[in-house]
């Protein structure tokens, strides 16, 4: 396993700082955290199913489902992007163990969002879909964002992480482009009504997350350089 990749695996398995190394208790309690995050992530879908079952999706159910799944895709993409800066800034290394689940939940909602468009708007009519992508730039942007998420979901397994090694990290940087395209998709969708308040709020969230990532990465590399410096100093003093 290449070095960087092995470090990632070790980090993902490391118990939370301060937690007793009698791992069983930690693993059991962490299972609860994962279950809670999974339940929270699936709650919007359960709500849609319940509303659909009760025939309570409003006057335009297709629009309701498309908008709801689109919004949750964006929210979960942001939650996925928040993991690394939060982990770096807080030292809560266990957060990294939630990242894959959050990413896959984002992909689930993106697939449902895409599926609603594919099925309810176009009834799987490929010609109508191609025409829609060509006619409405905001749909083309959404399509591009979804296309970028496909290889990320396909390489989310441990086996793919091992197989791709260093290239896995490079590939998964596509998530930044996907989230930027998704915000542009939202903004263009709202452009027709000249209503940019919500897309702007999401753009701000994404900018803060990407900025925090940069700040946290710079702080981590400064800490690493300082640690290397003091190790070198200590070895010089010993000589
Ligand atoms: C990462 C992928 C995507 C994200 C994050 C995303 C997000 C969103 C958001 C936030 C909205 C607006 C919700 C609202 O008005 O409250 C939206 C609307 C929409 N999206 Fe996406 N989208 C994605 C991909 C796609 C794809 C692949 C398609 C179709 C090819 C698509 C088609 C649409 C359509 C047609 C609407 C308008 C729904 C309506 O107002 O009836 N989106 N999307």
pLDDT digits (tens, 9 = 90+) for 48-66: 999 999 999 999 999 999 9
The predicted pLDDT at position 214 comes to 82
| Nearest Cα residue to 146 out of 51, 66, 29 | 66
- Separation of alpha carbons 70 and 48, rounded Å: 13
- Closest atom of ligand 1 to 202 CA is 10
pLDDT at 12 over 60: no
Task: Evaluate: CB of 142 within 6 angstroms of ligand 1.
Answer: yes
Q: What is the mean pLDDT of the chain?
A: 89
pLDDT at 1 over 50: no
For residue 96, what are its two tokens?
């990294």
**Cα of 30 to ligand 1 centre, how many Å?**
33
The predicted pLDDT at position 228 comes to 87
**Cα of 185 to ligand 1 centre, how many Å?**
7
- Closest atom of ligand 1 to 63 CA is 41
CA 181 to chain centroid, in Å, comes to 14
Strand, coil or helix: what is 97?
helix
Ligand 1 pocket mutation pick from 78, 143, 185, 201 by most atoms within 8 angstroms of CB: 185
Taking residue 118's Cβ as centre, other Cβ atoms within 10 Å add up to 15
Strand, coil or helix: what is 172?
helix
The beta strand positions in 40-179, using DSSP E, are none
| Nearest Cα residue to 19 out of 87, 101, 93 | 93
The predicted pLDDT at position 229 comes to 87
The predicted pLDDT at position 19 comes to 52
| Nearest Cα residue to 82 out of 66, 71, 97, 95 | 95
- Separation of alpha carbons 102 and 96, rounded Å: 10
Task: Evaluate: CB of 114 within 6 angstroms of ligand 1.
Answer: yes
**Cα of 174 to ligand 1 centre, how many Å?**
19
Place of tokens 């799944």: 69
The predicted pLDDT at position 2 comes to 47
Condensed to tens digits (0 to 9), the pLDDT of residues 63-81 reads 999 999 999 999 999 999 9
Task: Evaluate: CB of 186 within 6 angstroms of ligand 1.
Answer: yes
């Amino acid at each position: 396993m290449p070095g960087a990749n092995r470090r990632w695996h070790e980090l993902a398995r490391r118990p939370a700082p301060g937690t007793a190394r009698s791992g069983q208790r930690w693993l059991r309690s962490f299972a609860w955290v994962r279950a809670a995050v999974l339940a929270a992530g699936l709650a919007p879908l359960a709500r849609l199913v319940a509303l659909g079952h009760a025939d309570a999706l409003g006057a335009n159910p297709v629009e309701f489902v498309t908008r709801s799944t689109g919004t949750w895709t964006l929210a979960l993409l942001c939650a996925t992007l928040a993991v690394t800066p939060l982990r770096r800034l807080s030292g809560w290394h266990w957060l990294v163990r939630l990242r894959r689940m959050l990413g896959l939940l984002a992909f689930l909602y993106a697939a449902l969002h895409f599926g609603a468009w594919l099925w309810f708007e176009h009834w799987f009519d490929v010609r109508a879909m191609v025409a829609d992508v060509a006619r409405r730039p905001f749909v083309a942007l959404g399509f591009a964002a979804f296309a970028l998420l496909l290889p990320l979901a396909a390489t989310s397994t441990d086996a793919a992480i091992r197989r791709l090694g260093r290239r896995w990290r490079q590939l998964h940087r596509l998530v930044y482009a996907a989230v930027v395209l998704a915000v542009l998709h939202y903004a263009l969708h709202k452009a027709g009504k000249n209503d940019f308040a919500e897309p702007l709020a999401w753009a701000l969230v994404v900018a803060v997350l990407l900025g925090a990532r940069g700040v946290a990465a710079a702080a981590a590399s400064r800490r690493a350089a300082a640690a290397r410096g003091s190790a070198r100093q200590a070895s010089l003093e010993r000589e």
